Amino acid sequence: MKRREFITLLGGAAAWPLTARAQQPAKRPIVGFLGDSTPLAENERAAAFARRLYDLGWIEGRDRIRWADGRSDRLAEIAAEFARLKVDIIVTGGTPAVMAAKQAAPVVPIVFAAVGDPVGTGIVASLARPGGNVTGLSALTADLAGKRLELLREVVPGLGRLAIMGNVDNPLSVLELGEVQAAAHQLGLQYDTLEIRRPQDIAYALDAVKGRADALYVCQDLLTRANRLRINTLALAARLPVMHGSREFIEAAGLISYGPNFPDLYRRTADYVDKILRGAKPADLPVEQPTQFELVVNLTTAKALGIEVPPTLLARADEVIE
């Protein structure tokens, strides 16, 4: 099978039966890929994973992957289905998806591509010794809060009051909210915390800080990613510059983002899958950190807000959307 054919099979069925190109194993291993968002939102990430898996010698069979479409209830359903299918490995992304997989399949190896704080949320015992059936890559979500606020102050020099939005049903977002609050306090900023749990909460939360806050910080998770265009549209109407954690938000009319290169994290996830399929145990594979980070700026949004992004920041940006 050609690589292009392999990648285009990233669609909507249940799991990947894989075959090593160099050999025909007695049992064909099956990898269940649980995408917590939509194919459109995660296409680049899933394709990076697929390409690397192919490069490592694995070719895909006739089945594909499952998408939760931004719905937390779907995570548990898909994880339970993978457990019934007796997949050999579950690959997934964020904290809620990993927790759902752990609960549904406590003995199946689970590899996560981008968990914000795997130790702080209790997913692994430690980075060096994960223990149990789970390992993967950390996205350092909460750890980057201070850096994001420093960048936001460059874009909004008069920043005095910050609105911080996060899904308080997500333990990672709760941790990130705390880190952002601490960083804001250290920088002498006042702040309002916008607690959301459902898409319906977003408009109400932003309306509460309209004309009050100077900028908005959004904690990235399943809920905010699925509603990124809504958040950015409402923030733009409220004249709020927004700091996000990944480039998908900026492609959806956000102003600025800083965070790991997520396609690279998903590419590296394939290395874990390869090692486990060849006999390694998740408990023995340390959790790794990001090595590539992206600063993305949307100049179209900046102009709509009447903001002039400093040339020094533009020069450091990895991508500028115009």
Angle, helix 171-186 to helix 145-155, in steps of 10 degrees: 50
- Shared domain check, 70 and 154: no
Residues 152 and 133 in one domain: no
pLDDT in tens, the chain (322 residues): 334 333 333 444 445 566 665 555 556 788 999 998 888 888 899 999 999 999 998 876 544 689 988 788 899 999 999 999 999 999 999 889 999 999 999 999 999 999 989 998 899 999 999 999 999 999 988 889 999 999 999 999 999 999 999 999 998 999 999 999 999 999 999 999 999 999 999 999 999 999 999 999 999 998 999 899 999 999 999 999 999 999 999 999 999 999 999 999 999 999 999 999 999 999 999 999 999 999 999 999 999 999 999 999 999 999 999 9
Are 135 and 147 within one domain? no
Q: Residue 88: what residue type?
A: D
pLDDT of residue 11: 43
Do residues 129 and 151 both lie within one domain? no
Residue ranges making up the domain that contains 279: 3-139+262-291
Tell me how far apart the terminal alpha carbons of the chain are, to the nearest angstrom: 38
pTM (2 decimals)? 0.87
The pLDDT assigned to 6 comes to: 38
CA distances from 21 to 18, 43, 49, 250, 294 (A): 9, 24, 17, 39, 34
CATH at residue 304: 3.40.50.2300
Same domain, 309 and 167: yes
Collapse the DSSP code of 176 into the 3-class scheme (helix H, G, I; strand E, B; otherwise coil) and give the result.
helix
202 and 298 belong to one structural domain: yes
Number of domains into which the chain is organized: 2
* Dist. CA 42–CA 54, nearest whole Å: 18
pLDDT for residue 216: 98
pLDDT at res. 4: 39
Instruction: Work out the burial of residue 17: count CB atoms within 10 Å of its CB; fewer than 13 is exposed, 13-18 middle, 19 or more buried.
Output: middle
11 shares its domain with 66: yes
